[in-house]
Chains A and B, each alone.
Chain A
Amino acid sequence: MGLSHEHEIHKRRMSRNLGVGVVLGAFVILVFALTVAKLNRGEPMQATDHSLRIDQLEASE
Chain B
Amino acid sequence: MSDTSAFSEPNEASFGDYFALLKPRVMSLVIFTALVGLLVAPGGVNPVVGFASILFIAVGAGASGALNMWYDADIDAVMKRTASRPVPSGLVTAGEAFAIGITLSVMATVMLALAANFVAAGLLAFTIFFYAVVYTMWLKRWTPQNIVIGGAAGAFPPMIGWAVVTGGVSLESSLMFLLILTWTPPHFWALALFMKEDYSKAGVPMLTVTHGRPVTRKHILAYTVALIPVSIGLGLTSIGGPVYMASAVLMNLWFLKGAVAIWRRPEDVASADKYRVEKSFFRFSLIYLFLSFGALLTEATLKTYGLGGW
- State the A residues within 8 Å of B (CB): 1, 7-9, 11-13, 15-16, 18-20, 30, 33-34, 36-38, 41
Can you report 8 residue pairs joining A to B where beta carbons are below 8 Å apart? A9-B7, A12-B12, A13-B12, A16-B18, A19-B19, A30-B55, A34-B52, A41-B46
Of the residues A18, A30, A37, contact of B46 by C-beta under 8 Å: A37
Task: Give me 9 other A-B pairs in contact (C-beta within 8 A), A30-B52, A38-B46, A38-B49 excluded.
Answer: A7-B7, A8-B12, A9-B8, A12-B12, A15-B16, A16-B14, A19-B15, A20-B15, A34-B48
Which residues on the A side are within 8 Å of B304 (C-beta)? none
Q: Mark B1-15, 1 if CB is under 8 A from A, else 0.
A: 010100111001111
Number of residue pairs across A and B with beta carbons under 8 Å? Answer: 43
Given contacts A1-B2, A7-B7, contact A12 B52 (CB under 8 A): no
Q: How large is the interface on B (under 10, 10 to 19, 20 to 34, 35 or more residues)?
A: 20 to 34
- In contact, A7 and B4 (Cβ under 8 angstroms): yes
Which residues on the A side are within 8 Å of B13 (C-beta)? 12, 16
- In contact, A37 and B48 (Cβ under 8 angstroms): yes
Q: Which partner residue on chain A sits nearest B53 by CB separation?
A: A34
Q: Mark B36-58, 1 if CB is under 8 A from A, else 0.
A: 00000000001111001001000
- In contact, B12 and A9 (Cβ under 8 angstroms): yes
- In contact, A18 and B15 (Cβ under 8 angstroms): yes
CB distance from A27 to the nearest CB of B (A): 9
Q: Which partner residue on chain A sits nearest B115 by CB separation?
A: A34
Given contacts A9-B8, A9-B9, A30-B55, contact A37 B49 (CB under 8 A): yes
Q: How far is the CA of A20 from the CA of B15 in the complex (A)?
A: 8
CB distance from B111 to the nearest CB of A (A): 8
Q: How far is the CA of A12 from the CA of B91 in the complex (A)?
A: 11
Given contacts A7-B4, A7-B8, A9-B9, contact A34 B49 (CB under 8 A): yes
Which residues on the B side are within 8 Å of A38 (C-beta)? 46, 49
Which residues on the B side are within 8 Å of A16 (C-beta)? 13-15, 18
Q: Which 5 A-B pairs have the closest CB atoms?
A: A19-B15, A37-B48, A12-B14, A15-B14, A15-B15
Q: How far is the CA of A20 from the CA of B19 in the complex (A)?
A: 11
Q: Which partner residue on chain A sits nearest B47 by CB separation?
A: A37
Q: How far is the CA of A9 from the CA of B52 in the complex (A)?
A: 34
Which residues on the A side are within 8 Å of B14 (C-beta)? 11-12, 15-16
CB distance from B251 to the nearest CB of A (A): 37
Q: How far is the CA of A13 from the CA of B9 in the complex (A)?
A: 12
Q: How far is the CA of A1 from the CA of B93 in the complex (A)?
A: 31
CB distance from A47 to the nearest CB of B (A): 13
CB distance from A2 to the nearest CB of B (A): 12
Q: How far is the CA of A36 from the CA of B49 in the complex (A)?
A: 10
CB distance from B164 to the nearest CB of A (A): 13
CB distance from B63 to the nearest CB of A (A): 14
CB distance from B51 to the nearest CB of A (A): 8
CB distance from A15 to the nearest CB of B (A): 4
Q: Which partner residue on chain A sits nearest B48 by CB separation?
A: A37
